[in-house]
């Protein structure tokens, strides 16, 4: 027996997408380390890059000088870039000193950057070599966070894709659900409770909180994406035999319900068990959104392409809070992952894929939206022109998925208007 999703009628089933291919302005994939290092508690992220990479990470994370973060930069000097030193030997020395100083590390990620990509330093071979030296105490992996190759959310995708070959094979044929995408621990706990209340017990999360708890995977594993930007990870999991469950993303009361319902239907959960598990938290979330609906309804919003969260966010803001998207810009559109989201967008909304920053800024200035969602580098200039902005990167640092976070998500979009009002007083 299945429970059908009670979603309003589609509005944008086959939207026209404007393909932008010009200058872009977005953080590189290194930025994903800021939230990933909080999630995998015994992992360390070593960026092989320049002082610029180190400064970016320090600025993005806001790390104070007395803090002990679980990331660092192996700074490449001029002699490394000029080929005057053996980069692999230098890297081995850095890794040796790091593991001597931090014996708590159980998983080490070597993260490629623009400089390491330019000199063709093969970090995958370096990781394999170093793993042989430090196994079984430390597992050493690699991925690229280079701005040449990645936007800032793709750093998480590359990191999780690097983990997939390490996942153990499932020992039995029991059906299993794997939730894929970094979630705040409080959100993960809430989802685990909801799945348990429905009767789903064999549920894993990728990434895990500790490297020793990597979830098993097999042909009876079904994956539920918590983030829309996990293209490489989903592909790698499919190659291991897992099956993707198409679903909207768990943003807002409606999106969370539809996301949970997709899993429930995939595993044949009894409709009464599903309603019993979700009715109360859904009602709480809807009540919590009411004050924000009054404040945000009718406000226009323009999304600059940055995080790949733009389409699910536009769906939630328009359908649950009454905001009016003028344009939804996103770096990439993976239609298989967004097939449940696209029909739920307002009819006739403009959608752009990729970026031509000058042309998009011209459209922002012409439209004069009530709120522009963009990267930090664009926010201040637009604010100086009298436009109200929202930093897109904050949406990755803040727990926004699930019922209990619905009002927190809405508040992120209400705060810029409150700030503007206070500044005018």
Q: What is the largest CA-CA distance in the chain?
A: 69
Sheet with 243-244, strands from edge to edge, namely 203-206, 176-180, 221-225, 243-244
CA angle 399, 401, 405 (to 5 degrees): 65
For 105-174, what is the HEC assignment? CCEEEEEECHHHHHCCCCHHHHHHHHHHHHCCCCEEEEEECCCCCCCCCHHHHHHHHHHHHHCCECCCCC
Contact between 35 and 367 under an 8 Å Cβ cutoff? The reply is no
Rounded Cα distance, 183 and 191, in Å:
10
Radius of gyration of the chain (CA): 22
Binding-site sequence positions: 28, 53, 114
Strand-pairing partners, residue 178, are 204, 223
Buried b (16+ CB within 10 A) or exposed e, 149-163: ebbbbbbbbbbbbbb
Count of C-beta atoms within a 10 Å radius of residue 183: 24
DSSP code, position 73: E
Binding-site sequence positions for [4Fe-4S] cluster: 28, 53, 114
Closest C-alpha among 306, 312, 419 to residue 354: 306
């Amino acid at each position: 027996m299945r429970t059908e999703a009670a979603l309003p009628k589609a509005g944008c089933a086959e939207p026209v997408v404007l393909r932008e291919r010009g200058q872009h302005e977005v953080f590189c994939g290194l930025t994903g380390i800021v939230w990933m290092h909080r999630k995998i508690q015994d992992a360390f992220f070593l960026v092989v890059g320049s002082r610029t990479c180190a400064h970016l990470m320090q600025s993005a994370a806001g790390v104070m000088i007395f803090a002990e973060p679980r990331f660092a930069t192996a700074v490449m000097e001029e002699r490394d870039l000029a080929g005057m030193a053996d980069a692999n030997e230098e890297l081995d020395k850095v890794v040796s000193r790091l593991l001597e100083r931090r014996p708590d590390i159980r998983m080490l990620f070597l993260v490629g950057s623009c400089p390491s990509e330019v000199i063709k330093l093969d970090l995958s071979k370096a990781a394999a070599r170093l793993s042989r030296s430090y196994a079984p105490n430390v597992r050493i992996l690699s991925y690229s966070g280079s701005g040449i190759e990645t936007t800032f959310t793709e750093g998480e995708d590359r990191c999780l894709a690097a983990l997939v070959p390490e996942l153990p094979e499932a020992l039995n044929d029991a059906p299993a659900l794997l939730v894929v995408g970094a979630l705040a621990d409080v959100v993960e706990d809430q989802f685990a409770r909801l799945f348990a209340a429905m009767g789903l017990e064999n549920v894993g999360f990728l990434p895990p909180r500790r490297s020793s708890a990597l979830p098993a995977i097999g042909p009876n594993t079904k994956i539920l994406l918590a983030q829309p930007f996990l293209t490489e990870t989903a592909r790698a999991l499919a190659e291991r035999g897992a099956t993707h469950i198409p679903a909207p993303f768990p943003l807002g009361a409606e999106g969370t319900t539809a996301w949970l319902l997709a899993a429930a239907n995939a595993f044949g959960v009894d409709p009464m068990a599903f309603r019993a598990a979700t009715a109360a938290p859904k009602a709480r979330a809807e009540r919590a959104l009411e004050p924000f609906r009054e404040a945000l309804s009718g406000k226009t919003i323009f999304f600059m392409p940055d995080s790949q969260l733009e389409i699910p966010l536009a769906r939630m803001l328009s359908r649950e809070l009454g905001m009016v998207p003028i344009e939804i810009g996103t770096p990439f559109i993976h239609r298989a992952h967004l097939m449940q989201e696209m029909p739920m967008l307002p009819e006739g909304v403009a959608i752009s894929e990729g970026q031509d920053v000058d042309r998009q800024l011209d459209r922002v200035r012409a439209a004069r939206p009530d709120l522009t969602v963009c990267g930090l580098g664009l926010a201040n200039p637009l604010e100086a022109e009298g436009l109200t902005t929202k930093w897109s990167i904050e949406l990755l640092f803040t727990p926004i998925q699930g019922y209990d976070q619905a009002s927190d998500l809405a508040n992120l979009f209400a705060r810029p208007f409150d700030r503007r009002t206070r500044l005018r007083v």
